[in-house]
Structure 1
């Protein structure tokens, strides 16, 4: 009598438990990666908006400097308006006040996205303008 030959069992695949563990790891990792990617996109949009707001503030300051060179007087008090740049509207507010130094004014320019007039400004530029000379110091 002959005994049946023993088959050698070589498993070359994953077991069900190994597959389930791998799927659990992927299920935990993918949402974390998506959350991180969403934060990066939001951060990039904020930097873009802040850069454009900086350009708008620089434009407003340039217009004030040109008005002074043209013989105009420095702005006293505040002024607001809307400027379009890069296909969007930006709300600006200029506040000016006299300083202790004669013929110098402190000018603060705040820029906000047009639809969000509450809350903090995206960019604030502070400059000191001389009424009689071309010198401007900004910070």
Structure 2
């Protein structure tokens, strides 16, 4: 009668194969998570670049963009971002559509990471900063309310 206790070589090899398979799956899941986090970081920064560019365009005094395409680059978060702006007419003649695409590569064949669309209205007289709108007939024209 054999009284030796322990695992056979075959049992040890099967256990090691199961552990290796489980670790490989864990590494794959972790790698996918890291890649997704990196993609989401890039997409967030690209969206911020697009928002900043659109805000810069909208805040120019008397801004009414000509239809067409423009491109440029900007640095944010230690990386170079490339933007392309397309301005198109809309059915409403006093509005323009602005599409801002942001990429990490200067090549327009590469799909953009972020696309932001905004609209801008044609400035009217009196819309410029520092100008007060005309007063309505019969009004006092403003003031402090103390008779001055």
Instruction: Quickly say closer, same or farther: Cα 1:45–1:108, change in 2 above 3 A.
Output: same
Using structure 1 for the length normalisation, give the TM-score: 0.80
Residues 49-102 of structure 1: per-residue CA shift (max 9 Å, x gap): 0000000000001001111xx123224211000010000000000000111112
Alignment of 1:17-32 (within 5 A): 17-32=10-25
Gap regions ≥5 residues in structure 1: 1-6, 135-139
Separation in 2 of the partners of 1:77 and 1:10? 85
Contact (CA 8 Å) 2:57, 2:63: kept in 1 or not? no
Q: How many residues matched?
A: 125
| Cα displacement (A) at 1:111 | 0.3
The alignment status of 1:125 with 2:116, answered yes or no, reads yes
Alignment of 1:59-98 (within 5 A): 59-67=52-60, 70-98=61-89
Higher helix share: 1
Q: Which runs of 4+ in 1 moved over 4 A?
A: none
| Cα displacement (A) at 1:107 | 0.6
Separation in 1 of the partners of 2:99 and 2:10? 65
Higher strand share: 1
Residues 12-35 of structure 1: per-residue CA shift (max 9 Å, x gap): x32222211101112222222222
Contact (CA 8 Å) 1:91, 1:117: kept in 2 or not? no
Gap regions ≥5 residues in structure 2: 128-148
Using structure 2 for the length normalisation, give the TM-score: 0.76
More displaced stretch, 39-48 vs 25-34: 25-34
